[in-house]
Amino acid sequence: MHNYYTEKVNFYGSTTPHELIKQFGSPLYVYNEAILRQRCREMAGFIQYSNYKANYSTKANANLELLKIVHEEGLHADAMSPGEIYVLLAAGFHPEEIFYIGNNVSEEEMLYAVNLGIPVSVDSLSQLDTFGEINPGGKVAIRINPGIGAGHNEKVITGGKKTKFGINPDRIKDIEAILKKYNLNLIGINQHIGSLFMEGDVYLESVKTILTIAACFEGLQFIDLGGGFGIPYHKQEKEEPLELVQFGRRIGELLSDWAAGGNPDILFKIEPGRYITAECGILLGTVHALKENSGICYAGTDLGFNTLVRPVMYDSWHDVEVYSKNPLNFPEEKSYTIVGNICESGDIMARERKLPSLSKGDVLGIMDAGAYGYSMSSNYNNRLRPAEVLIGTGGKPRLIRRRDTLEDLLRNFCSDPLPAGRW
């Protein structure tokens, strides 16, 4: 291994990356149950306030078995689509434990949640009007743009002046007019400033802002403060994790002071996604080719961006571990650019990383891939999506989602099946 973080935390339990690849195939998503449960507990106890709940943001990873664990740990959940609602219900979540945060959704999607008794948030005046038309006299939440944004890439900043999300605070009078027009009951407000912040000051400012906005509305049942909590993707460089104790205490003090002003029963929520699942997941893949082009050493793998799109989409960093097929003969380091098997020049998982000299058959581990990994994967190039495996608290692996098959590529087509024997 190379800078073996996984050995430090006993990530693979009683097995090894090579054994996992042999049993379940390559590439492969591997999750660690103990780490997942620990992150759930950290978020569940993050804010010391009597009426507080952490909602897991399902979009980060919607694997059914992981959702069951999240529910067992007492978290509620946010959903962004009817599909996420459907899977959450299958995982054991009750409708009252789900919050549907829609974005430019149809009447049908809104009604799907409403008919199940799931609270709905809308993020524009237009969507609020639509909700009123289909559910007059109903209960609704609204997403506010706090005017503050944060994130590691402009594509994940969800608050401020350059975002499609939320209603600006200067439209409160318009909100009130639509609520009155349809006799709607505003039960909550929510916000989200962006993803992957590693210091809490910006988040704290957004909390102050939404509390100020909340004072404009009477009868709120809850305020969702948003998510975006970061994790240390640069573990090999000793990056420190997000400091939670003082951060959570400062938020708790803000909430307590505000609630004491006349809102003692209000529920405060947060919506972490990445923080819950990122570190519990690793993407394993195999080195199949080695070459040098114009002085750059390329490690050709089966880790195409169909398996993990974050490095291509966001220029995201993921640490890389090397599991040599000859661990006792570990050579000197070389610089490698790790590329996949997709026919795109941007199919690059990591650029010019110092790694032990690689050989065909070595296994690579892409760290912190549990969030926005499989959930954003695809069948581009008609590549098959990987299997997913869970290392249980006892250290044994268990298949929790099978690998795609070639037959899966044809499953939803409405044409005659191919003649027998074509595959």
The CATH number of residue 329's host domain is 2.40.37.10
420: CB partners within 8 A, 6+ apart: none
- 84 and 209, same domain (yes or no): yes
- Which amino acids are annotated catalytic? 343
Please give the pLDDT value at position 148.
Answer: 58
Joined tokens for residue 97:
């434990």
Residues 219 and 326 in one domain: no
Position 263 scores a pLDDT of: 83
Whether 163 maps to a domain, the answer reads yes
Q: Identify the residue with better confidence: 308 or 209.
A: 308
Mark whether 98 and 157 lie in a shared domain: yes
Stretch among 224-233, 238-247, 256-265 having the lowest mean pLDDT: 256-265
Q: What is the pLDDT of residues 12-46, one digit of tens each?
A: 999 999 999 999 999 999 999 999 999 999 999 99
Whether residue 70 sits in one domain with residue 25 = no
- The answer to whether 194 and 151 are in contact (CB under 8 A) is yes
pLDDT of residue 104 exceeding 50, the answer is: yes
The mean per-residue pLDDT over the stretch 404-414 comes to 95
Q: What is the CATH number of the domain that holds 121?
A: 3.20.20.10
Q: What is the pLDDT of residue 257?
A: 92
The pTM score is 0.93
Would the pLDDT of 153 be above 60? no
What span, in angstroms and rounded, lies between the C-alpha atoms of 144 and 100? 15
Q: How far apart are alpha carbons 286 and 359 in whole angstroms? A: 10
Pairing type for strands 76-79 and 98-101 reads parallel
**Same structural domain for residues 271 and 286?**
no
Establish if 248 belongs to a structural domain: yes
**Residue 190: which domain range?**
33-278
Q: Using alpha carbons only, what angle is made at residue 39 by residues 10 and 302, rounded to the nearest 5 degrees?
A: 60
174 and 78 assigned to the same domain? yes
Q: Indicate whether 321 belongs to any domain.
A: yes
- Does any domain span residue 396? yes
pLDDT higher than 60, residue 159: no
Q: Do 260 and 308 lie in a common domain? A: no
What total number of domains does the chain contain? 2
Q: Does the pLDDT at position 330 exceed 80?
A: no
Q: Which of 74, 187, 174 is nearest to 127 (CA)?
A: 174
**Element (DSSP H or E) covering residue 175:** helix 172-181
In this structure, the answer to whether residues 247 and 389 fall within a common structural domain is no
Q: What are the backbone angles phi and psi of residue 322, rounded to the nearest 5°?
A: -115, 130
- Residue 211 contacts residue 259 (beta carbons within 8 Å): no
